[in-house]
Amino acid sequence: MNKISSLPSLTGKTMCVIFWLLLLGVDSSKGQNLLDMQSWVVGTGSTGSFIGNGFDVENVREWGTAPNGERAVVWKAVPSGDGQPDGGWNHRVTIDHRKRYRFTVWLKKTNSADGYSYFGCENVSNLNGQVDTNPYFWHGDLPELDKWFLLVAFVHGSDDNSTIHEGGIYDGITGVKRLGIIDFKFLPNTQTTLHRSYLYYDPNVNDRQYFYGPRLEVVDGTEAPLSTLLVNGAMRNATNGSDGSVRISHDGALHLSGNDPNHIVAYRRHHGTELIDSPVMLGWSGGALGFKKEAVEHISLFWNDYGNVGIGTLVPKEKLSVNGKIRAHEIKVETANWPDYVFKPDYNLNTLSEVERFIQSNGHLPEIPSAMQVEDEGLSIGEMNKLLIKKVEELTLHAIENEKKRKKLEGKLNEMEILLNQLKAK
């Protein structure tokens, strides 16, 4: 039996499929998705402009994992075993037959290769001008099971004489075009078309086909580049997708994941015969930046779950701990309670005798940390500068007081010298 010719008439049905309007990381102002995605919510059967293909129980919308690894609502085809329509949709859209349109949808098949996947449109002719009453860009088996593929198809304007087919099926992990598919062009004066994608003729009730992110847009330079659709869909290890993943979420954030407990992002390059591994290490309780050479990790920058950062140390106790020398043109330290209070009249200034007794008992100035304390705890530049200024101000007060005493003694000596000279004159 010819699969295409035996499909039921599409007259009176509508279909749908959208590649999320904010396609992970794609600015919503870039290209307008003509599919009505507001009804793409959890449920069964038809919804909004999406007219289900098959029984309601064969068309399930549920929370699942999108091609980018994020949790999202996906459309699931659940074969009933009757070997007829087994899920999918028709979504009718108004178009301008003079313009070129791009149709996209993500598909994934699981369990077995029974049945066939379909992706099509309506009101078109082949590129050679022959009318096709039941047009499909592609139908058949996806290249692999248990893997997302992006189907990309084009319908040219009715006056377009191009004979080049540009559509294809792209690997959601590697981005490689795995299969070519055919293009169409609109019939003159046509005003609508369908975005339709199905699972058909699948007798295996354990099979599932998942649909995600259907999209239909005018090709006029504002549409999202194909590379953007693929990058935002998923980027994973080409050999084993479970080894790690890179994805960009709808808010523009870059998400990195992997099974290595220490390294989530690693940059590798060959230097002569030596492999240099320069990892960015991220963890649940902090992270680090550094490089690895000859199987030895050299950590340049480390941060813990308290927000403390260490340079040259893995145990930062302050917001920034540096185990090594720092060279800078200028360092500005902000501090409070600068010791100008020393000059106030009510300040209790220790006498030099009191300071002397303290030094004799403790081996250091009052309020100044001892050598042992500095070796154990380090030195606070801001606090030490305050203490040093305080001591300078205290010494200044002592110097002023001693200057007053000196001048007073000089005055008395001058008086005594005058009296002595007067006595000598008699």
Determine, yes or no, domain membership for 16: no
What is the pTM for the complete model shown?
0.54
Residues 64 and 197 in one domain: yes
Q: Are residues 58 and 178 in the same domain?
A: yes
Tell whether 104 and 166 lie within a shared domain.
yes
What pLDDT score was predicted for residue 307?
84
Report whether 206 contacts 112 (CB < 8 A).
Answer: yes
Nearest 5°: CA angle at 268, between 262 and 274?
110
How many angstroms separate the CA atoms of 115 and 207, rounded? Answer: 9
Q: Check: CB of residue 64 under 8 Å from CB of residue 50.
A: no
What integer pLDDT is reported at residue 222 of this predicted model?
A: 85
Residues 313 and 389 reside in one and the same domain: no
Q: Which residues lie closer than 8 Å to 411 by C-beta, 6 or more apart?
A: none
In a domain, 241, yes or no: no
pLDDT of residue 248: 52
Domain termination residue (choose one: 236, 270, 294): 236
Looking at residue 317, its pLDDT comes to: 87
* Residue 21 counted as domain residue: no
Structure tokens at 95: 């178009």
Alpha carbon separation from 295 to 70, 288, 419 (Å, rounded): 34, 17, 92
- Residue 84 sits in the same domain as residue 232: yes
> How many Å separate Cα 303 from the centre of its chain?
19
Same domain, 72 and 217: yes
Residue 137, class by beta-carbon neighbours within 10 Å (0-12 exposed, 13-18 middle, 19+ buried)?
buried
Pick from 190, 180, 182, 140: which is nearest to 162 by CA? 182
Look at residue 244 in the predicted model and tell me its pLDDT: 53
Does residue 12 fall inside a structural domain?
Answer: no
Report residue 180 CA to chain centroid gap.
32
| Domain membership of residue 302 as a residue range | 260-322
Instruction: Tell me the pLDDT of the chain (426 aa) as tens digits.
Output: 333 333 333 333 323 333 333 333 334 334 589 999 999 999 999 999 999 999 999 999 999 999 988 899 999 999 999 989 999 999 999 999 999 999 999 999 999 999 999 999 999 999 999 999 999 999 999 999 999 999 999 999 999 999 999 999 999 888 889 999 999 999 999 999 999 999 999 999 999 999 999 999 999 988 888 877 785 544 443 333 444 555 555 444 555 555 554 555 554 444 444 444 444 455 556 777 777 676 677 788 888 888 899 998 888 888 988 888 989 888 888 888 888 888 898 999 899 899 899 999 999 999 889 999 888 888 888 888 888 998 898 899 889 888 888 989 988 898 888 888 888 887
pLDDT at 16: 31
395: CB partners within 8 A, 6+ apart: none
Q: Say yes or no: 142 and 195 in one domain.
A: yes
Give residue 338's identity as a one-letter amino acid code.
W
Same domain for 178 and 48, yes or no, is yes
- Provide the pLDDT for residue 125: 97
How many separate domains does the chain show?
A: 3
DSSP summary character for residue 358: H
Decide: 321 and 306 in contact? Cβ < 8 Å: no
Q: Is residue 175 domain-shared with residue 307, that is, in the same domain? A: no
Same domain, residue pair 147 and 269: no
- What pLDDT score does 247 carry? 53
Is residue 105 located within the same domain as residue 70? Answer: yes
Look at residue 253 in the predicted model and tell me its pLDDT: 53
Among candidate residues 236, 268, 285, the one where a domain is terminated: 236
Give CA–CA dist 352/405, Å, rounded. Answer: 14
Residues 198 and 159 in one domain: yes
Contact 193, 122 (CB under 8 A): yes
